[in-house]
Structure 1
Amino acid sequence: METVSVRNAAELGAAVRAARLQAGLSQVDLAAEARIGRQWLVEFEAGGKLSAPFNMVMRVLQALELEVVLDPTITRRSADRPDERPAATEILARYTAGGPR
């Protein structure tokens, strides 16, 4: 799998689903490997886990042999709004799921 830029929960879920399918795993197989529930995985792949526990996300990525790469070149929030906190989608945009090591 090539490097994928992820900017929100839906994109992360889609990337995980694509990696799972490429690995030839069913949702049941991946859920068992990552020690999570299948229904949780279904919702995660659909982008519905906006506040997913980090350890669960990492177990899924590790089971698929994916890694997270932080890219400091992503555009920061604009200088005209320095007091505004980043949205969750902006935080997720800083993470990239890469291919197998």
Structure 2
Amino acid sequence: MASNSVYSLAQLGAALKTARLKRGQTQAAIADLAGVQRQWLVQLENGRLPNPSLQKVFAVVETLGLTLALADDDDGADVR
């Protein structure tokens, strides 16, 4: 499976939308399965949700059969 680097909420939303469309699923279906409101998912996919609940994001990610991973920056900077 391919991996994508995501650097903003807008990019995360776009990646989730792409994954949903590849699976042929509607926003309503994914929202229902993830236990979130469809309008919330619409805003997330469009990068218009300034402070999304991480719990809800994980629910959508899991529903789509995806995983989230953290990686060190290429410059080797310490994460604090």
TM-score of the two chains, using structure 1 as the length reference: 0.71
Give the aligned partner of residue 44 of structure 1.
44
Partner of 2:70: 70
The letter of the residue matching 2:32 is A
1:49 CA displacement: 1.4
Segments of 4+ moved more than 2 angstroms: 73-77
Shift of 1:74: 4.1
Q: Which has a greater percent of strand?
A: 1
Q: Which runs of 5+ in 1 are unaligned?
A: 78-101
Structure 2: runs of 5 or more not aligned: none
Q: How many residues were matched structurally?
A: 78
Identical-pair percentage: 35
Q: Counterpart of 1:51 in structure 2: which amino acid?
A: N
1:56-95 equivalences under 5 Å are 56-75=56-75, 76=77
| Backbone CA RMSD of aligned residues | 1.8
1:65-93 superposed Cα distances (whole Å, 9 cap, x missing partner): 1111110134449xxxxxxxxxxxxxxxx
